[in-house]
Amino acid sequence: MRLSKIRIAGFKSFVDPVTLDLRSNLTGILGPNGCGKSNTIDAVRWVMGESSAKHLRGASMEDVIFNGSSSRKPIGLASVELVFDNSDGTLGGAYAQYAEISVKRQVSRDGDSRYFLNGAKCRRRDITDIFLGTGLGPRSYAIIEQGMISRLIEAKPEELRNTLEEAAGISRYKERRRETETRMAHTRENLERLTDLRDELEKQLERLDKQAKAAQRFRELRNEERHLEASILLLQWQALQADGAQRLRDLSQRSTDYQQQIADIRHLEALIEALREQYTTANDTLNVVQGEYYQAGADIARIEQSIQHQRDIQRRQQDALRQAEQSLEETLRHAAEDRDKLHVCEQTLADLEPREEALNEQLDLADAQLHDAEDQLNDWQEHWQNIQQRIAEPTRQAQVEKARMEQLERQLSQTSQRFERLHQETASLTSSRFEDDQALLEAECEESAAAHVIAEEQLADLSTQLNQQQQAQREVQTQLDQARSRRQALQGRLASLETLQQAGLEKADKTRNQWLKEHDLDSAPRIAEILKVEAGWESAFEAVLGEDLDAVCTTALPPIPSPSPARGEGSKESVFPKAGITLLTTESDTLAPSPLAGEGWEGGNTGEPSASCYLSSKLQAPRAAQTLVASIHCTETLHEALAQRHTLAPHESIVTRAGIWLGSNWLRSRRQTDAHSGILQRQQEIETLREQLATLETALTDWQQQAEQLRDSIHHHEQQRHQAQADTNRLHRAESEQRSRLHALQQRIAQLHSRRQQIAAECAELDAQRQQQEEDHLIATEQRNTALDLLDSVQIERDSLAASRDERQHAVSDARRHLRELQDTAQDIRLQLETNRTQRDNSQRQLDRFNSRLELLEQQRDTLLEQLQMQDDPATALQAERDTALAQRADVEQRLTHARHTLQGIENEIRQQEAARVQAERRVEHTRTEQENRKLEWQAVQVREQTTAEQFAKTEFDVAALQATLPPDATPEQFQQPLETIQRSIQRLGAINLAAIDEYREQSERKQYLDQQNADLVAALETLDTAIRKIDRETRARFKETFDKVNSRLQDMFPRLFGGGECYLEMTGDDLLTTGIAIMARPPGKRISTIYLMSGGEKALTAVALVFAIFELNPAPFCMLDEVDAPLDEANVGRFCELVRHMSERVQFIFITHNKSTMELAENLIGVTMREAGVSRLVAVDMAEAVKLANG
């Protein structure tokens, strides 16, 4: 792939459209300073995606558009297009089918920047992706501007790494890594947001879970409470029945047992006295036998101890003798081995010491021979280096002149071809038809601009209205959400209170509800639901009314059927529910205050004013309900009630605000866990909640209507705005297209006029250029012949010197090899000598120690043999004595065992009979007491049994069904503690939200969905992390491979440019992903430790060597050089040109220069001039004039 054309229009000083035709691989751009040559390189950087104004030598991106001059106005559009020849298919993929690829960028003063790929609009990223890995880019090593050489060579290690990465083709990996990291960052942000949602939902679930569990728990506890109460009563009833029957049988049995127990005591007393006499006789016999047994045991122990002592002494002496003999044998064997080793070492030392002295003399002689051979080789190398330096200059001069001749021949051919093309182009230039089209396009542009302004004003008005309505919608939605939350809370609270109220009023009793439904009373209110009690007096009314709070209010009593003969008058069967019921006839009563409200104390014998009043004064209710509390007074405190209790009549009572109820001779305090506790207060709260819910529902309806109206209005305005935006965009595109066409047409007309003038001037310049090229060709031929003659004479001398090089090198190599062999042999002998001397000394010392140990072991062995011969066996006499004593002790032991068994039997019998007597006496006393107590207890059980049976009947549980659910060993105590626990649990539950169960289920499903999303995001993060690790591995491998290859090519390229010296790359770190790159260079004949000490020309040449080394590795399609040769002297320019010519076989070069030698290198020259102030143009190049400009 190569760059074939650069089309520029309106970019910086190139106001008129120009085309740089790059026909060859060596194209030179020349012209005077300030004429705009470097703007061509800026144009290439810009179209390839450069977005920094600083790197385009401007203050802002608008500076790339022609900003006017003394004779021209500013224009509004800049355009640059690069045309690539892709006939070799360098760009693969979707672009491999295109033989020519066009990349174009346009920018207008309103900041609208557009990119085009083969005429189709595309993104900036699409352009950069095409060049990834090719070495091309807005800041790649393929574009070397003024100052970039110094910046490249003096760049920081991290910046130099970027250049090497582009050469390695891993810039696309870095781009993919940045994209992956961006996606990971977005994924982590999504994960954080999702975590916040999950945490918030978790809190809601915790709250709803508690409420749902509380609601479920409330239902379960209520059922368990009723079941436990019935179970306890049934078990108590059954236990009392069984207990009564057992107690009656026990009373008759205890009377018979009492007489029998008295007779048993008398028999036991006689038996115990006879046993005590037998015990005294047996104890005396045992004492005599036991003394004989102890004496026999002491004799046997003494004899056995003497036998064991004698045997231990003999065994220790025998062991010591065996050990001494073994040590003596082992010591003799070791001493013999050491004497053999000592003899061998002395013989070896006698052989090695003479050889060591002879080798030392041979080493000195070989070292002297090596020094002589090395001195002769060094003298030859100095002579060879001098000849090489004499050959280098004529060789370089001959090559330069040959290249110059070839270049001049090509230039002469190109000049002739250029003449022919210019004449043909002159005949084709005409502009009459373009001027008519220009007037028509100007009128169309004015009409489009006016329509565009009107459309933008309409769009702004619609956007303002839409924003106002959206703000109003957000405010209404906020109020609506708050109201819904409030309604949900009120509904939950109301449901909890209604459930508690129904339980307190026994509306959940199925039997009772069925009876009410049969008599058309199922919808009748309870009295607690219609009472209006003064605040603070609820406890007093609950204490007085009690179960009457769930009385059913009706206008008349239902018909009562006549009792049948079978049931009798007193039977309740089938007339009323078993749980009981209270009916209150209110007829046409309405809520009214008590007629006694405000009156004084009635009844009693006092007429004095009292601090109390009637309880009915605190009540608004039907008159029938007021009669329930007609004779009850009320006081604020218990102290006041106690003080006035003596004034009460027999039918009167008094109750305090706290609910303590007193009569003239009684006092009642209500249980805190009573089922009717809090009914009135709950009823008032239920009424209040219902009123609040009704008000809230009305407000919700209004807000929903407002939200719906706003939603419809916003939708309508959004459609209008969308249509207005589409119209505005369409008008803007139409206006831009018309202006672009007008501008292009204007530029085309100006180009036609300018081009005719340029062709005339260029033809004159080409004629003079051809004459100068012919003269330069003759001069180059003569200089090349002179250099070749000088080179032939020096090469003869070099060939003669080369013949003696191998002989001297072989002499040095043989001397070094002989010296190494002698040194190795001497080292082996010295090591053997040292080893044998050490072994000899060790063997002598070990032999001396063994001789001393032999003498000591022989003395010890003799002593032990004497001691063993002197001893006799003492065990025979002692064993006979021990056998006699053992026989005597066995006989005594048999008699002792018999005496002990006899005595133990008597003693056990006595203890048993004593214990039996004590137990018999206790039983007699216990039986007498128990007989009296059992009679009283039997009577009490009979009373409790009757009471429990009546209580169980009220529970309405079936005895057989309930009995089947109880375990066989169940007791009332097992159920009492659970019942109390359940009652406390119900009280602790407080207000219950029964709607929480459904809410918890819905939120749980949402939580599972969010948890799945969270798992998916975590898995995505792991996948992206794996992708980054893979990219890092590939990047390391590619970077290391590229670094090694570029380093190798740099080490080869540097001496070619400098004529010697060395240069290499060095990593500044260990991590291949982040390490920087440093350049280490040493020009020939210098000792420079750092590159910063080099001259400007040396730095420039080093940078060129690095760039060309990179090209050798990964050649970019083209390379642009902007006055790279400026700091180089003539000799270095020649080497630079030769290297560029060699590289041009594979790489296309476009270079800007003022140097004569570099101009001669170019196969295609493009001239840039600024005849009109501020406006750059392309002109034909006069080589003679170009040389004058370069020298001047």
Whether residue 1076 contacts residue 155, with contact meaning beta carbons closer than 8 Å, is answered with no
Q: Report d(CA 11, CA 77) in Å as an integer.
A: 8
Whether residue 111 contacts residue 67, with contact meaning beta carbons closer than 8 Å, is answered with no
**Per-residue pLDDT at 213:** 78
Residues making up the annotated binding site are 32-39
Q: Which two tokens stand for residue 748?
A: 């085309």
Closest CA to 111 of 61, 66, 180, 52: 61
**Per-residue pLDDT at 681:** 64
Closest CA to 353 of 898, 834, 1040: 834
What's the whole-number mean pLDDT along residues 1097-1122? 80
Residue 253: HSE in the Cβ half-sphere, 13 Å Cα cutoff: 7
Say if residue 616 is exposed, middle or buried (CB neighbours under 10 Å; 0-12, 13-18, 19+): buried
**pLDDT band (50, 70, 90) for residue 895:** confident
Neighbours of 520 (CB within 10 A): 10
Q: Report d(CA 1189, CA 1098) in Å as an integer.
A: 25
Neighbours of 383 (CB within 10 A): 13
**Per-residue pLDDT at 611:** 38
Q: In what order do the strands lie in the sheet with 100-108?
A: 18-21, 2-9, 77-85, 100-108, 113-117, 120-122
Q: Is the pLDDT of residue 269 over 50?
A: yes
Q: Is the pLDDT of residue 3 over 80?
A: yes
Residue 60: HSE in the Cβ half-sphere, 13 Å Cα cutoff: 8
The 10s digit of each residue's pLDDT in 427-448 is 666 655 566 677 777 777 777 7
Closest CA to 981 of 185, 225, 27: 225
Closest CA to 744 of 443, 452, 438: 438
**Per-residue pLDDT at 671:** 63
Q: Which of 81-85, 233-237, 366-370, 1121-1125 has the highest mean pLDDT?
A: 81-85
**Per-residue pLDDT at 435:** 65
| Residues paired with residue 616 on neighbouring β-strands, in sequence order | none
Query: Mean pLDDT score of the chain, rounded to an integer?
Result: 78
Q: Report d(CA 1137, CA 1141) in Å as an integer.
A: 6
**Per-residue pLDDT at 509:** 61
Whole-angstrom CA distances from 1014 to 180, 181, 204, 290 are 19, 19, 18, 91
Q: Report d(CA 644, CA 641) in Å as an integer.
A: 5
Q: Report d(CA 407, CA 1002) in Å as an integer.
A: 86
Handedness of CA 387, 389, 390, 393 (dihedral sign): positive
* DSSP assigned state of 65: B
Q: Which two tokens stand for residue 968?
A: 């066989």
Q: Which two tokens stand for residue 905?
A: 């039997």
Give the least confident one: 412-416, 692-696, 935-939, 1003-1007. Answer: 935-939
* DSSP assigned state of 86: -
The conformational region for residue 133 under phi > 0 = left, psi -120 to 50 = alpha, else beta, is left
| Residues paired with residue 101 on neighbouring β-strands, in sequence order | 84
The 10s digit of each residue's pLDDT in 322-358 is 777 777 777 777 778 777 877 888 888 788 778 778 8
Closest CA to 720 of 1075, 894, 469: 469
Question: Which helix (H) or strand (E) is 1168 found in, with range?
Answer: strand 1164-1172
The 10s digit of each residue's pLDDT in 826-869 is 777 877 777 777 777 777 777 777 777 777 777 777 777 777 66
What's the whole-number mean pLDDT along residues 891-915? 83
**Per-residue pLDDT at 600:** 40
**Per-residue pLDDT at 1168:** 92
**pLDDT band (50, 70, 90) for residue 19:** very high
**Amino acid identity at 523:** S
The 10s digit of each residue's pLDDT in 574-601 is 567 766 677 777 654 554 455 444 444 4
**Per-residue pLDDT at 79:** 94
**pTM, 2 dp:** 0.36
**Per-residue pLDDT at 949:** 79
**Per-residue pLDDT at 1181:** 61
Q: Is the pLDDT of residue 673 over 50?
A: no
Q: Which of 280-289, 543-552, 970-979, 1135-1144 has the highest mean pLDDT?
A: 1135-1144
**Per-residue pLDDT at 433:** 57
Q: Calculate the CA 704 to chain-centre distance.
A: 43
**Per-residue pLDDT at 609:** 34
The conformational region for residue 609 under phi > 0 = left, psi -120 to 50 = alpha, else beta, is beta
The 10s digit of each residue's pLDDT in 544-575 is 777 667 777 877 777 766 655 544 444 444 56
Neighbours of 1060 (CB within 10 A): 15
**pLDDT band (50, 70, 90) for residue 6:** very high
What's the whole-number mean pLDDT along residues 976-995? 76
Domains of the chain: 1-136+1117-1192 (3.40.50.300), 432-476+687-803 (1.10.287), 526-674 (no CATH)
**pLDDT band (50, 70, 90) for residue 103:** very high
Residues making up the annotated binding site for ATP are 32-39
* DSSP assigned state of 563: P
Kindly report the backbone phi and psi dihedral angles of residue 671, in degrees, each rounded to the nearest multiple of 5, phi listed first.
-65, 140
Residues listed for the chain = 1192
What percent of the chain has pLDDT above 70?
Answer: 87
- CB proximity list for 913: less than 8 A, separation 6 or greater: 268, 271, 272, 275
**Per-residue pLDDT at 9:** 93
**Per-residue pLDDT at 206:** 82
The 10s digit of each residue's pLDDT in 685-707 is 777 888 888 888 888 888 888 88
